[in-house]
Each structure stands twice: as C-alpha cells, then as structure tokens.
Amino acid sequence: MTKRLTRLRLEILKAGLTQREVGRRSGIDETLISRICNGRYVPDSVERIKIADAMQKNVAQLFENTNL
C-alpha cells in the first residue's frame, strides 16, 4: 500500500519540525495543522500564507500533493 503524504507534511518532516511548532509559529491550532497534514482539511488562502510564512517557504512549495 502506498502512503499518501501531503507536501506540507513532507516539508515539516524535512525541516525537522513538529506540527505543534508549525502551529505555534503560524498562530494556527496544532489540531488544524494535523488535519491539513492528513488531508482532512483544505486550508484557505490566509491559512496557507500563515503556514508558509512560519516555515519560511512559499505557498506552492507546501501545498502541492505528493504520493510516496
């Protein structure tokens, strides 16, 4: 079975961060970050920008889906 990772989850792992840390940096609750990472919630444009800013990435780098 192939595990599906969102680009955001992959980039969080590559950066050595936790979802909690991304939530703290972005001002978005960590449970919502988890839902985004698991593909159960699609963030709006403001949330995407906050997360990208918190990770020092651009929005496109984080919100493309990747299948691994």
Q: Residue ranges of the domains in the chain? A: 4-63
How high is the pLDDT of residue 31? 96
For residues 50 and 28, what is the distance between their CA atoms, to the nearest angstrom? 8
Q: Is the pLDDT of residue 3 over 90?
A: no
Instruction: Determine the CATH number of domain 4-63.
Output: 1.10.260.40
Q: From CA 53, how far away is CA 66, in angstroms rounded?
A: 21
Handedness of CA 27, 22, 25, 20 (dihedral sign): positive
What would the pLDDT profile of 17-68 be if each residue is shown by its tens digit?
999 999 999 999 999 999 999 989 999 999 999 999 999 999 998 986 554 4
Is the Cβ–Cβ distance between 66 and 39 less than 8 Å? no
